[in-house]
């Protein structure tokens, strides 16, 4: 989720839902940085990552929550 989302109220309910369902989440500094990380040229306020069985990225994706403090 982008920390500079405006109005911030659009995403404030999401951390509560994620914590209730034990889903890891993190904030990034800006909408532009989140868009860039997703390979887009536009700004975005949220994104999600799923793991495809057999994916070579599975271990890296699962380690993300440990790299960033929630």
12-69 pLDDT per residue, tens: 999 999 999 988 888 889 999 999 988 999 999 998 877 778 878 777 777 766 655 4
Where residue 70 falls among pLDDT bands split at 50, 70, 90? very low
| pTM, to two decimals | 0.69
In this prediction, residue 55 carries a pLDDT of 79
Q: How many structural domains comprise the chain? A: 1
**Does residue 2 form part of some domain?**
no
Q: What domain range includes position 35?
A: 9-68
What is the pLDDT, as a whole number, of residue 64?
A: 67
- Distance spanning both ends of the chain, measured CA to CA: 11
pLDDT of residue 48: 85
CATH code of 59's domain: 3.30.1330.30
Q: Give the dihedral of Cα atoms 48, 8, 30, 14; nearest 10 deg.
A: -20
Buried b (16+ CB within 10 A) or exposed e, 4-27: ebeeeeebeeeeeeeeeeeeebee
């Amino acid at each position: 989720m982008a920390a500079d989302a405006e109005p911030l109220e659009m995403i404030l309910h999401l951390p509560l839902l994620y914590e209730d369902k034990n889903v890891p989440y993190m904030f990034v500094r800006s909408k532009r940085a989140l868009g860039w990380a997703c390979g887009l040229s536009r700004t975005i306020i949220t994104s999600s990552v799923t793991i495809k069985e057999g994916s070579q990225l599975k271990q890296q994706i699962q380690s993300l929550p440990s790299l960033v403090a929630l």
